[in-house]
Structures are given as C-alpha cells and as structure tokens.
C-alpha cells in the first residue's frame, strides 16, 4: 500500500461482496481519493451495475489472482461469507496488502485470521452505519460521513497497517474508533443485535395478537414504526449475525428478560415509584447519547 493518502490515486482497493456497505465504501473512496476499485460479487447483475455506474473499474467472476494487485481488500459480504471468503483470498494477496472486513461480529473473524497466519495483515472493521434496506442500489458515499468506524486488532496485527486504515477511514469521511474484538462484540450485542431481536419480537407479538380487522396494524403510529423500523432488514443477514454473536447476545437477552420481569412485578403491585424510576432512568440515560449515525 502507498505510504501516504496523497498517493491514493495509485491505490487499488478490492471488494469481495458489493452490497450496501461495500458499495458505499467504494463510492466514498473513489469520490474522495480517486482510488481504483476491483470488485467481486456472486451476483453478475451487481457487477454490471458497478461497472455501468463507475463504482468499480474492474470486476471479476471469481476470487483469484486478480486480488494480488490490491493494496487493500475489503471482505464486504455477509458475516459468515466473509469467514469463507477470507480463506480463499489469502493465498492471492501481496505481502504488503491489508485485509479488512465490515462484519458486525469481530471475534470469529479475528480467530480465523490468526489461525490462518494472517493476523499480521488483518485489521477488523465495522462501520456503524446502514439502512433497513440492503443492496448496491442503496449505496451512497454519504453513508460513511460522520459515522463511527470501528477498527479492531489482535496482538498479532501490524501497527502500521492499523495507522493506514485509520487514515483511510478518515479520508472516506468516517471517524475511526479502536476497540478489541471482544469489547466490540459485547457492545454491539447491546446497541445493535439485541435491538433487532426486540424489534422483531414486538412485531411478532402485534401480528399474533391483532384482530381480524387488523386494528393494531391500523393504529400503529410513529412510536411503533420508529421502534420496529429495523425489522425491515434482511432476515438472512440477521440470522447469520445473531448466530455468530450468540454468546454475547444470550447474556444480554437474559438481562433484558430480567428487567421486563421487574416491570411486570411493578405493574402487578401498582408500584408507582418503581415505574417512575424505570422510565426516568431510561429517559436520563437516553438523553446522554450523542446523536450520530448508527
């Protein structure tokens, strides 16, 4: 990889998977740095779209030697596919290349990188941004603007590669945020993965309890829609994510169930003070959360 972002126009960046996040990163890097983009995707129509819209300069139909020309390769398919694709691309990378990903679960892919003796070159990544819809057609460079972009490392990760990734993240308009994989997975279990489960559970509850006239659905307004918007996300994506981060999610899910049971007891006892504390504490903490892209 070039040692300065002023030389970034000579950089070739590879993408294995070109959906919402990969496509948005590719657009941001081409717009801001003028990099050359090489892309692979299992969907040929996605590759045709990428070439037609100048998102990719070159596309390939397999993960192979073409990725040897890349300075950086983003594993930007769904999380479990990234684990599979890492093994395929590793033999083709140049010795100086950086390998990164965009998965929302970090510990499994770091373990794989270390096991595959790729820990030196691998810098984990997770841009904390997105939409309820997936696909290259929804990708936009502005999706990264101002977003926190988590970078994770293992003890084997090369510090110089981490610094280069921090520069690249900053250049695409995002804010780099260093974390350890375990720390990341616990945090996102609470602020991202568990909310998807809660959202889906609430939608399911309403669907199962609605009447023949669909009264609940007709009355569903801003609060319900805001809280459950993320349930429109692709089910297969979230099946993979929740299974990969199951240990952390399970612990927090138990905690959530405990809190809901406490609320139930307060309601049963008509405990006004307990209910007031419950809502006040939630309001006060929520008001401390800085507004930013999630």
- Residue 2: what pLDDT? 46
Q: For residue range 36-84, what is the model confidence (pLDDT) as tens digits? A: 999 999 999 999 999 999 999 999 999 999 999 999 999 999 989 999 9
Centroid of chain to Cα 193: 10
DSSP string for residues in 177-211: EEE-HHHHHHHHIIIIIHHHHHHHHHHHHHHHH--
- Residue 198: what pLDDT? 96
Please indicate, yes or no, whether residues 142 and 82 belong to a single structural domain of this protein.
Answer: yes
Residue 290 three-state SS? coil
Please indicate, yes or no, whether residues 24 and 89 belong to a single structural domain of this protein.
Answer: yes
Please indicate, yes or no, whether residues 135 and 167 belong to a single structural domain of this protein.
Answer: yes
> pTM of the entire structure?
0.89
**Percent of the chain residues past pLDDT 90, beyond the cut:** 86
- Residue 294: what pLDDT? 43
Q: Are strands 98-101 and 122-127 parallel, antiparallel or unpaired?
A: parallel
Q: Looking at residues 13-18, what average pLDDT do you find?
A: 97
Last residue of a domain, one of 143, 163, 179: 179
- Residue 292: what pLDDT? 45
Please indicate, yes or no, whether residues 120 and 65 belong to a single structural domain of this protein.
Answer: yes
Count of C-beta atoms within a 10 Å radius of residue 4: 9
Sheet with 175-179, side-by-side order of all strands: 58-60, 36-40, 12-16, 72-75, 98-101, 122-127, 148-152, 175-179
pLDDT band at 7 (very low <50, low <70, confident <90, very high): low
Last residue of a domain, one of 121, 154, 179: 179
Q: Which domain holds residue 64?
A: 5-179
Please indicate, yes or no, whether residues 172 and 199 belong to a single structural domain of this protein.
Answer: no
Q: Are strands 148-152 and 122-127 parallel, antiparallel or unpaired?
A: antiparallel
- Residue 289: what pLDDT? 86
Please indicate, yes or no, whether residues 75 and 207 belong to a single structural domain of this protein.
Answer: no
Residues 163 and 280: their CA atoms lie apart, in Å, by 42
**Percent of the chain residues past pLDDT 70, beyond the cut:** 95
Last residue of a domain, one of 124, 154, 179: 179
Q: For residue range 75-128, what is the model confidence (pLDDT) as tens digits? A: 999 989 999 999 999 999 999 999 999 999 999 999 999 998 888 899 999 999
Could you give the number of structural domains in the chain? Answer: 2
């Amino acid at each position: 990889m070039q040692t300065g972002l002023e030389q970034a126009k000579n950089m070739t960046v590879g993408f294995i998977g070109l959906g919402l996040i990969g496509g948005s990163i590719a657009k941001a890097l081409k717009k801001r740095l003028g990099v050359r983009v090489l892309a692979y995707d299992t969907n040929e129509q996605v590759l045709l779209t990428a070439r037609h819209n100048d998102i990719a300069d070159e596309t390939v139909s397999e993960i192979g030697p073409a990725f040897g020309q890349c300075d950086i390769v983003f594993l930007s398919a769904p999380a479990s596919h990234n684990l599979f694709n890492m093994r395929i691309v590793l033999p083709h990378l140049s010795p100086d290349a950086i390998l990164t990903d965009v998965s929302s679960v970090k510990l499994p892919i770091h373990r794989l990188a270390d096991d595959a003796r790729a820990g030196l070159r691998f810098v984990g990544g997770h841009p904390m941004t997105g939409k309820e819809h997936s696909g290259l057609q929804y990708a936009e460079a502005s999706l990264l603007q101002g977003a926190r972009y988590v970078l994770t490392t293992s003890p084997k990760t090369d510090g110089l590669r981490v610094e280069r990734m921090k520069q690249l993240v900053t250049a695409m308009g995002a804010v780099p945020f260093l974390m350890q994989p375990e720390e990341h997975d616990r945090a996102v279990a609470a602020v991202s993965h568990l909310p998807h489960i809660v959202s889906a559970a609430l939608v399911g509850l309403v669907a199962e309890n609605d009447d023949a006239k669909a009264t609940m659905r007709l009355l569903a307004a801003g609060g319900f829609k805001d809280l459950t918007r993320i349930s429109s996300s692709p089910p297969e994506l979230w099946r993979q994510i929740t299974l990969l981060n199951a240990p952390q999610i399970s612990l927090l899910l138990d905690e959530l169930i405990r809190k809901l049971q406490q609320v139930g007891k307060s309601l049963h006892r008509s405990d006004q003070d307990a209910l007031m504390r419950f809502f006040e504490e939630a309001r006060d903490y929520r008001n401390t959360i800085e507004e930013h892209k999630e």
